């Protein structure tokens, strides 16, 4: 029986997806299931780790059933995941001790402020490439150990395990046989030294985290054990794991230094490959491990934007002025422009390049003439403005001008947004034929590890352009609109606090 497929498990913030790829990198089947989000307090975001696992298993089984692909037809599985989201579970029972704290959650902002006051930023940045922010896993783990009854004592006895979503899935897929993560996910925890490639004792002590909690760190392409036979009807090798943004960089075939992609999902994440060099940012970006292959790792510069497609979800679920995210495209096109309206979606503070945990969202420039279409348009435009903020930082850090930006992710399907993006950047935007590049990257990592594909040269040839968007906005207009955006952001930064009760 031919092993003609790789199964990618893409556990994103919005949904769990299972996608089958054939040898030509074509999608042979895909099943997706939306996930519940919990917002128990302002600025808090949680998910149910059991639901994450069950939904991921369900979509994997469903795509195999729908396509008639069995475990014997799978050469390997590759896992990719929303990063930083933190799960702690009991080693003996495999039960999570609480809901997962999602990457967007701001509950640990006071802990971060305390660490900043101790002047620890510099040391942490030098070792991890990251900034001190509630976004990363370190303070989330600390918070759970200190707030879930009995957790710290159990952790100290070695009874608990921590994992980002990749580790949680690997643990469950292997029936609790393997507690592991990969370099790219480890590099998002604030606990991993990205230069020595090891958990750092000084950082563990800063965050007060017992080492027994931590997973073993492995290369992103390589062995992560195999699935319990009863889960998918046979044992399948788990041969790849990577954080979703790094996987998307790989899936976009950005294998060489200077190549970059931007993913428009829940958030927006631009990553540039910097090769074997860990470039330290001076412009508010983070340095992260792109992937580890064999015994070496490659690095990337990253601009992380916390709210992108999530702004459309809010218009749909919070305000109820959209039927679906996709409808935003036709609504935005109903009007010539946003009528001077700016939407700053700082629902959970602002990430790169501002890193302001206390900022909160605003819609500015409202007049009696403002209608639904202008607000929807302003929300979409905010994705493009935030991307310009990040691209300018990246070009500054890397001392280069990008010739074209490769895009992917759910909202990259929006043609209005992609054209506005090209216009606001003054740079060509290139959308590939496969925009499921996160899953594709995970499949590539796993496929290379088991010899399903011969090497990155073969994969580069699989990258096909679907549509390119050329900038056509006059420079004067571009600059005026962007200046308006910068002014709008200036109004929400916490240096100018809103009075809050
Ligand atoms: N046509 C569209 N226009 C704008 N936003 C969209 C469109 N389709 C999906 N989105 C947004 O993209 C996000 C889903 O993209 P996806 O890549 O699946 O995200 P994630 O990996 O974060 O779960 C949602 O936040 C949704 O609102
Ligand atoms: O779920 P996504 O695709 O928006 O990605 C989330 C990021 O990994 C968070 O760092």
| Pair 80, 9: CB distance under 8 Å | yes
Query: Distance, CA 69 to ligand 1 centroid (Å)?
Result: 28
The DSSP-derived string for 93-133 is T--BSSPEEPTT--TTHHHHHHHHHTT-HHHHHHHHS--S-
Nearest ligand to the CA of 302 is 2
Mutate which of 129, 136, 268, 269 to test ligand 2's pocket (most atoms within 8 Å of Cβ)?
269
Q: Which atom of ligand 1 is nearest to the CA of 267?
A: 22
pLDDT score for 287: 96
Q: Which atom of ligand 1 is nearest to the CA of 409?
A: 17
Q: Which atom of ligand 2 is nearest to the CA of 438?
A: 3
Instruction: Give per-residue pLDDT as tens, 275-307.
Output: 999 999 999 999 999 999 877 899 999 999 999
The rounded distance, in Å, linking the Cα atoms of 388 and 381 is 11
Q: Which atom of ligand 1 is nearest to the CA of 408?
A: 17
Mutate which of 12, 184, 189 to test ligand 2's pocket (most atoms within 8 Å of Cβ)?
12
Query: In the chain, pLDDT over 70 holds for what percent of residues?
Result: 98
The rounded distance, in Å, linking the Cα atoms of 360 and 46 is 19
Query: Distance, CA 354 to ligand 2 centroid (Å)?
Result: 18
Query: Distance, CA 268 to ligand 1 centroid (Å)?
Result: 10
Q: What is the mean pLDDT of residues 318-339?
A: 96
Residue nearest to atom 4 of ligand 2 (CA): 266
Calculate the average pLDDT of the chain. Answer: 95
Is residue 143 predicted with pLDDT exceeding 90? yes
Q: Distance of CA 174 to CAs 18, 130, 232, Å?
A: 17, 31, 11
The rounded distance, in Å, linking the Cα atoms of 245 and 18 is 17
Q: What is the mean pLDDT of residues 79-108?
A: 97
Instruction: Give per-residue pLDDT as tens, 389-441.
Output: 999 999 998 888 888 999 999 999 999 999 999 999 999 999 999 889 999 99
Is residue 498 predicted with pLDDT exceeding 60? no
Query: Collapsing DSSP states into helix, strand and coil, what is residue 221?
Result: strand
Q: What is the mean pLDDT of residues 357-380?
A: 95
> Ligand 1 site: residues with CB under 6 angstroms?
12-15, 265-266, 309-310, 312-313, 325-326, 328-329, 409-411, 413-414
Task: Say what the ipTM of the complex is.
Answer: 0.97
């Amino acid at each position: 029986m031919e092993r003609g497929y790789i199964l990618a498990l893409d556990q994103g913030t919005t949904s769990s997806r299972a996608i089958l790829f054939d040898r030509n990198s074509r999608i042979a089947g895909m099943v997706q299931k939306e996930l519940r989000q919990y917002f128990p307090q302002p600025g808090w975001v949680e998910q149910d780790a059991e639901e994450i696992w069950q939904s991921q298993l369900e979509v994997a089984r469903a795509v195999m059933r729908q396509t008639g692909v069995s475990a014997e037809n799978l050469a390997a599985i590759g896992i990719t995941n929303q990063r930083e989201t933190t799960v702690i579970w009991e080693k003996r029972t495999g039960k999570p001790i609480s809901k997962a704290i999602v990457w967007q959650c701001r509950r640990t902002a006071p802990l971060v402020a305390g660490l900043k006051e101790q002047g620890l930023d510099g040391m942490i940045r030098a070792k991890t490439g990251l900034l001190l922010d509630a976004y990363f896993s370190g303070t989330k783990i600390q918070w759970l150990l200190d707030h879930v009854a009995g957790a710290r004592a159990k952790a100290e006895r070695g009874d608990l395990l921590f994992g980002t979503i990749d580790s949680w899935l690997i643990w469950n897929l292997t029936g609790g046989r393997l507690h592991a993560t990969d370099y790219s996910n480890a590099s998002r925890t604030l606990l991993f030294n990205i230069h020595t490639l090891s958990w750092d004792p000084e950082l563990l002590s800063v965050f007060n985290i017992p080492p027994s909690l931590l997973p073993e760190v492995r290369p992103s392409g390589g062995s992560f054990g195999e699935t319990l036979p009863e889960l998918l009807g046979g044992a399948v090798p788990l041969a790849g794991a990577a954080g979703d943004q790094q996987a998307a960089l790989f899936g976009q075939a950005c294998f060489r230094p200077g190549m970059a992609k931007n993913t428009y999902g829940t958030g927006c994440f631009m990553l540039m490959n910097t090769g074997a060099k860990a470039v330290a940012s001076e412009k508010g970006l983070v340095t992260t491990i792109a992937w580890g292959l064999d015994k070496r790792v490659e690095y990337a510069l990253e601009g992380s934007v916390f709210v992108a497609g999530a702004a459309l979800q809010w218009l749909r679920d919070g305000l109820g002025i959209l039927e679906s995210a996709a409808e935003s495209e036709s609504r935005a096109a109903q009007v010539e422009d946003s009528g001077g309206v700016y939407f700053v979606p700082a629902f959970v503070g602002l990430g790169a390049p501002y890193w302001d945990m206390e900022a909160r969202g605003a819609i500015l420039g409202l007049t009696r003439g403002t209608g639904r279409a202008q607000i929807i348009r302003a929300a979409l435009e905010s994705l493009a403005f935030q991307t310009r903020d990040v691209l300018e930082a990246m070009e500054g850090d890397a001392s280069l001008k990008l010739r074209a930006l490769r895009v992917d992710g759910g909202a990259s399907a929006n043609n209005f947004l992609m054209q506005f993006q090209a216009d606001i950047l003054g740079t060509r935007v290139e959308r590939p034929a496969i925009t499921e590049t996160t899953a594709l990257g995970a499949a590539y990592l796993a496929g290379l590890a088991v010899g399903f594909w011969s090497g990155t040269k073969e994969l580069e040839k699989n990258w096909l352009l679907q549509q390119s968007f050329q900038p056509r906005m006059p420079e004067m207009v571009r600059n005026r609109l962007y200046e308006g955006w910068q002014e709008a952001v200036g109004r929400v930064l916490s240096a100018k606090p809103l009075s809050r009760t």
